[in-house]
Structure 1
Amino acid sequence: MLLEPNLTTPFPGGGGGSCPPVGIQLEGVILPPVFTIDVILGLLGNIFALWIFWFKLKAWNTNNLFLFNLVIADFLVLVSLPLRIDTLLRGYWMFGDGLCRIHLFLMFCNRSASIALMTLVAINRYFKVVHPHHYFNRITKQQAAFVLLFVWLLVISTWVPILAFNHIKNIRNNTQCFFFASYKEDGSTIMVGTYRILTVLEFILPLAMLLFCSIQISSSLKKRQMGKLAKVRKAMRVCVVIVTVYMVCFLPTTVTTIGLWVIRSYRPWDCNAFYTFTQLTIASFGLNFLNSALDPIIYVFSSTMFRRALLGALPRALRCRQDTEESTVSSARTQSTTQQELKSMSADSGSEAIS
């Protein structure tokens, strides 16, 4: 997809020899079923999420605006992946130069936008819990819309150069749509280097922010009083879910990208290492777009209004059962809180008697 697996990869040394082409066999075997699962689960989850956001939510807040834009980011890749699935099964690209450019542009934008929006959701939760009186918690929906506009402009401007180049290559009498091959054959490595740097930076920097938010919320969880524990625990669950989805979907691609980068730069003669990381990179692409199928889990954990709308959309029998379970859990929590308060009062009375 983003590599040039059909091209012979030149490696200096060894008498000017080169590693034979990797071939598309592995890509054609692994990715079609993985991408198909991504598309099916992603469409089911995000269409349902879109229906809830559009028709069921009676009030919108900044958090729901961030989540709604994450749904839009998911649709960018969900409408693009079927083209790649068809190409992998068919063995060649048949949709022309224009769709090739749009296809690659949407896939890159999905990754960047998803990472940025998940980070926004976590930061929003961090401020509400750790700094409840901060100005960030008082921004209006209009101001949140400007934040989102800035994010989208940043993402689009980063990857819009892809639309300016022709990515169609005729390889062994087959038309292919590759990103890297276009620039390497033209003798330019600017976009390739930019892609590698962005792939690493857009993973590491948001990850640092996500971990910071999680650690701060966890610290706040230990300091808060009983009455505020539920809010902090909910925020902690949100961050844990976001970090988990983030690591599962984006860590493998980042690691394999760095691996290929290092091998091409410092071990150009090591064909075995190159093949290994190429295969790992191909396999990681399936996980890279799995976030579109997993993001609905983030919606459920991140938005109370979304969760209530989801419960309201369930069949009555399931809804009644869920209400009963929530009532039982709520009663247990109330009882536990009351017991702890009584114990605290008892301890206070005992200390007064001793004094």
Structure 2
Amino acid sequence: MNFANHSCQSSEEDLRKYQHQVYAIVYSVILAPGLLGNVLALWVFKIYIRETKKAVVFMMNLAVADLLQVLSLPLRIYYYLNNTWPFGHPLCMICFYLKYVNMYASIYFLVCVSVRRCELIMRPLRYQSSRRKGDLVICVLGWLLVCLGCLPFPLLRNPSSVPNSNSSSELVCFSELPMRTVSIPAAWALLILAELLGFIIPLVMVLACSCLTAGSLRDPTGGAITDRGEKRRAFKMVLSCAVVFLVCFAPYHITMPLDFLVKADALSSCTFRDLILRCHPVTLCLASLNCSLDPLMYYFTTHEFWRRLSKPEIPESMSFGRRLSCITGGEDAEED
């Protein structure tokens, strides 16, 4: 990693070793539960849950975003354990890019889930079956916006300035790739846009949805739905989105501008610089933790999800058992 200020006596090699240890440990911990949880979530959403009214389309896309992140973790773990990247620069940039695509796609779809559940409580009659196609359009547009918005992250890296770049075994990767020269106004503009569009506005929307659903739960006549059980489930879902948002993404977006100030050599305190450089990898790991927390959110807040996992139901495609039961005089399997 390039540190612009060389007046501080902190060892760059010690910081690099510390960061690699943090990344390797955290990514190894979240790899298995993230992979199993999101594969299971996609399986349940695809095969068993036919009712897409309760933001299931958005949750499926959220699981896809998390799964993309998880699939890149083994290569990251290899790099941080061995301190080498023998897989070539293109694959390095793809993994680096997927990290940010996953993070901001997760933020986008967490907002969509919160807004949809809040809308179904406050104005359920506005949502009709014809609007489900509109949800698919929202998902496609969201992926396009996120993929385009995250392009500056890999484009701002300058692999040509890496020492020994002709030898793939000596290549550095991820955050240790040197930055291209960017003017201070342009850098601040990108930073403000990332904070505003990628964090502050989504945070306000998620918190607003949490307040609205909580208000409808406290007021028996609040909202268009009077079923307190349905309101309670909606509030648990929206509150879970807010908790995941605050735990995983808020710390990273707090340290991101501070890390930028360190890289721009705008801080004179060596103690503060060292603190930021040691805290920022931790917050980046928290941003990856959402790929393991989201499946837990599905299970504990989505009634259909845990009901089908607790008592798996036979999908319509597996009708042979029903036919055999009819032939032998058994009772038909219970339909949804």
1:219 to 210, 215, 219: 215
Aligned to 1:52: 44
Aligned to 2:5: 10
Inter-partner Cα distance in structure 2 for 1:232 and 1:272? 49
Aligned to 1:158: 149
Inter-partner Cα distance in structure 2 for 1:170 and 1:264? 17
Following superposition, the deviation at residue 282 of structure 1 comes to 1.2
When structure 1 is superposed on structure 2, of 271-280 and 170-179 the one drifting more is 170-179
CA gap 1:123/1:86 in 2 versus in 1, 3 angstroms: same
Aligned to 2:318: none
Aligned to 1:243: 242
Inter-partner Cα distance in structure 2 for 1:171 and 1:56? 52
CA gap 1:214/1:137 in 2 versus in 1, 3 angstroms: farther
Alignment of 1:263-282 (within 5 A): 267-282=266-281
CA RMSD of superposed structures (Å): 2.8
Aligned to 1:299: 298
Letter of the structure 2 residue corresponding to residue 86 of structure 1: Y
Letter of the structure 1 residue corresponding to residue 47 of structure 2: F
Tell me which structure has the larger Cα radius of gyration: 1
Inter-partner Cα distance in structure 2 for 1:244 and 1:228? 24
Secondary structure (helix, strand or coil) at the match of 1:297 reads helix
Alignment of 1:47-86 (within 5 A): 47-61=39-53, 63-86=55-78
Alignment gaps of 5+ in structure 1:
12-16, 315-355
Inter-partner Cα distance in structure 1 for 2:69 and 2:103? 9
Secondary structure (helix, strand or coil) at the match of 1:140 reads helix
TM-score (norm: length of structure 2): 0.80
Aligned to 1:145: 136
TM-score (norm: length of structure 1): 0.76
Is the counterpart of residue 109 in structure 1 residue 109 in structure 2? no
Alignment of 1:88-237 (within 5 A): 88-133=80-125, 135-136=126-127, 140-162=131-153, 167-168=158-159, 170-171=162-163, 174-179=170-175, 181-184=177-180, 186=181, 193=188, 196-201=191-196, 202-225=198-221, 228-237=227-236
Following superposition, the deviation at residue 302 of structure 1 comes to 4.6
- Fraction of identical pairs, as percent: 26
Inter-partner Cα distance in structure 2 for 1:189 and 1:273? 21
Whether contact under 8 Å (2:39, 2:67) holds in the other structure is: no
Following superposition, the deviation at residue 117 of structure 1 comes to 0.2
Count of equivalent residues: 302
Alignment gaps of 5+ in structure 2:
314-336
Inter-partner Cα distance in structure 2 for 1:198 and 1:64? 29
Following superposition, the deviation at residue 227 of structure 1 comes to 5.0
Following superposition, the deviation at residue 10 of structure 1 comes to 2.5
Secondary structure (helix, strand or coil) at the match of 2:151 reads helix
